[in-house]
Every structure is written in C-alpha cells, then in structure tokens.
Amino acid sequence: MTQLVWFRNNLRSIDNKALTEACKRKGAVAGIYCFDPRHYGETLYGFPKTGAFRAKFLLETILDLQETLKKVNIPLYISTKKPEESLPDLVKKIHVSEIFTQKEWTSEEATVTTNVKKALPEDIQLKEYYDQFLFHPEDIPFEHWNNIPRVFTDFRKKFEKYGSVQNIINSSLPLEQDNRGFPKNVNYSQTVPALQDLGLQEPKLDSRTAFSFKGGETEGKKRMEDYIWNTQNIATYKQTRNGLIGKDYSSKFSAWLANGSLSPRMVYWEVKNFETEVKKNQDTYWMIFELIWRDFFKYISLKHGDKLFNIGGILGKNYDWGTSEVKKQQWIKGNTKYDFVNANMKEIAATGWMSNRGRQNVGSFWAKELQQDWRVGASYFESQLIDYDVHSNWGNWQYVSGVGNDPRDRKFNIEKQSERYDPDDAFIKLWLQ
C-alpha cells in the first residue's frame, strides 16, 4: 500500500509533519500537488486570484520540491484539476491507504478539505496536521485559541513568557525511500504546468525590484544562509527593516514562509543559532518578533473564522465604505495625490513586491483617506503579492482599516511617512522617473 502526501501550503521536505508521518508508515510514499483551477480564476472584486508573479514563484517551488523528493524515490504527481477530483483518482491508481496533509481552516481551503473527504472512499483516512505555526496550538499558553487576546502586545508578551517553540521535525528525509511494490508506469502526470497553462503570461523582470529571488525550499534555505550567516544582515535587521530599495533591507523570508517552502521554526532556530554563535541583540530579536506577528494573525483567523473576510472585520464595525471604480483605478495605477503612494503602487504592479512600510501607507490611504472598501485592497494584494498569505494579508488589511486588531485605530500621515522613510526621494524617483 502507498502513503500519499497531499501538499498544500507546506511545500518543503524539511520540518514537514505530513511528509514525516507518511515516511514513518510501512509501504511506499508518493506526493500530489493540485493546481486548483479555482485559484486561477477571478476574485469577487475583479482581480486574478493568483497573479503571474506569485504563480511563477509557486511553479519554481513545485519544480524544486519535485526534484528534492525524486532523490529519495518519492514521486510528486501533478494535477490541474480540483483536489476533490484528483485525489480519489490517484488513490485508486496507486492503491493509497492513508493521506497526509497540512491542516487549513480558512473558508475556501476548509471547503476543499470537506469536498475531498466526501469524495474519498470511506476506508481512506485523511490525516491533518497544524504545521504552519511558530507556536504550535498544542503549546499555546491559553486553554484554547478562542482565549487569545485581541491586542498583539498582550499576545506577544504571553507567548514570549510562557510559549515554547518545538524543534525542527526530522530535519532530513531518509537517504533512500524503499518504494518496492510501488505501481509502475502510473498513468498520472508528473509534469508541472507552464504559466500559460494556468492562463497567465510570463512577467517581465524589472531591474528595480527588491525581490529578485526564485521559489523553492532550496532557494529559501540559500537566502536564509546568506542573510543570516554570510552577510550577517540579521545583526542590523531592526535598523534596516523599514527600507524601501534593494534586496537586503529586510530578510524577504515571507515569500518562502507563505507557501511553506520554509517553516517559521526553521527561521527561528537559525536565528537562535546565530545568537548563540555570533551575536544576540535587538535586531536578531526583532526577526523573532516578526515571526510572532505572523503567528498572531493565524491565531486571529482561527479564533474569528470568516469574520476575517467580512466588511465589518472581527470588530463588526459598520462604516460607510465607498466602491468607486475611478478611485480604485487611480490607486492601482499610482495616480493619487501622494507620490509615496504612487511609487509603492507602481512597484507592486511591476514586481509583485512592496515593502512593509509601503503596505501600511497605501493601505491606510485606501481605507482611511479614500474610505474605500478595504476588501478591494486586500483582494488586489492577494492577486499581486509574491508573499501573499491569507492570514497575514487579510489580518493586516483589517488592522490598517480600523476593523481589526489595532487598538489605536491609527491613520498614517503619508507626507510625514515619506519624509521619514524616503527623505531624499530616492524611492519615489526610482519608481516615478
């Protein structure tokens, strides 16, 4: 019999609970990844759900994962159909006994899981694991995630004092995977589609981009090695993280974390090793601080469910949101009254990337100044961003829009932000020349 790993947003071989558990069982192991056609349609707000930049990064990630698994004789099958159609078909062809996957809970992903369970034969178990956290739900310092605080500072202090981070799971696969008895010549594709097959065009590489990296676990580990050990940029991270130009003002780990080709535990323990062997300071701590932010929004989505996508947010606020098509196009095209907003919007359109500082400013402008439906902005980011993560994206948009976790409900002064973070107008000139 065969153990099947259904890869979702856990596209790595190291520190992967589903893959590790499958390899512990008797019999052969295979994997499957589905390019769900629903991910390549249009959102409710009129944007491609997955834009070309993120799709290209994903394709690179899948190719890398396939090569890594191939070295230990684990085939990674590829489907361009819905998982509820693909998995039952493959289960029959390779005689699957159990399926292992990462637990997802946001509405679209949860619906897919339910559909898969309904479509599978009754004797096939689908085993799910929470595997995208820094602090595993089993280890949180609360009776239940429904008890987590609304304010990040309270969350962080509690987790820093009482939380614990698990060690990396089985840091490497076995050198050889015994696939004796594995069905030969299985009539199922291992071909990764091209962008054109997904209805997308190859994006042009803009020389000004701050994110020139490729997707995949191999590239993610290489970036981690370079940023933490080779350049030791981690030692000045807090000082540079609000930068705007170049690849090294921040770690850029978010893209690999978003699709799971790096795990937050991998980053955490690498930083801890650096603190032990080289230097521990506020900058190294701040990387862990940001990982905790990432966990915070995951627990917020666990706690509040579909409120993450409701116009009133987790607070149920009833604002009079606008829906101007003219303002939307001006914002997207970088044709607003603020050069700083315009430069950032041109960057994301041309590269699929925007700095953290930029995201906060363009989000505040869209929701607080223009008072437009914040979900339109969140949906545009979902389409464009290479490092799109459902929890962080929608949680952060609620935060800057006044319907989420910001206790101060702050509004950014765009002109002052520009003067502070782009004092010589270098970023503005780069993108508005």
Q: Residue 268 annotated as binding?
A: no
Instruction: Measure CA 229 to chain center.
Output: 24
Q: Residue 381 annotated as binding?
A: no
Q: Residue 294 annotated as binding?
A: yes
Q: Residue 133 annotated as binding?
A: no
- Which tokens in the block code for residue 390? 């459902």
Amino acid residing at 58:
L
Q: Residue 251 annotated as binding?
A: yes
> How far is it, in rounded angstroms, from Cα 35 to Cα 137?
28
Q: Residue 256 annotated as binding?
A: no
Q: Residue 252 annotated as binding?
A: yes
Q: Residue 253 annotated as binding?
A: yes
Q: Residue 297 annotated as binding?
A: yes
Q: Residue 293 annotated as binding?
A: yes
Residue in this structure with the two tokens 């676990």, named with its chain if needed = 217
In this structure, the strands spanning 28-34 and 76-79 are parallel
In this structure, the strands spanning 28-34 and 96-102 are unpaired
Q: Residue 207 annotated as binding?
A: no
Q: Residue 206 annotated as binding?
A: no
- Which tokens in the block code for residue 70? 């191939």
Q: Residue 97 annotated as binding?
A: no
Q: Residue 389 annotated as binding?
A: yes
Strand order in the sheet with 2-7: 76-79, 28-34, 2-7, 96-102, 125-129
> How far is it, in rounded angstroms, from Cα 203 to Cα 281?
39
- Find out whether 78 and 68 touch, Cβ atoms under 8 Å: no
Q: Residue 79 annotated as binding?
A: no
Q: Is 257 exposed, middle or buried (0-12, 13-18, 19+ CB in 10 A)?
A: buried
- Find out whether 359 and 396 touch, Cβ atoms under 8 Å: yes
Q: Residue 401 annotated as binding?
A: no
> How far is it, in rounded angstroms, from Cα 283 to Cα 286?
5
> How far is it, in rounded angstroms, from Cα 328 to Cα 171?
46
Amino acid residing at 371:
Q
Tallying the residues shown for the chain, one arrives at 433
Q: Residue 139 annotated as binding?
A: no
Question: Residue positions in the annotated binding site?
Answer: 237, 250-254, 290-297, 387-389
Question: Residue positions in the annotated binding site for FAD?
Answer: 237, 250-254, 290-297, 387-389
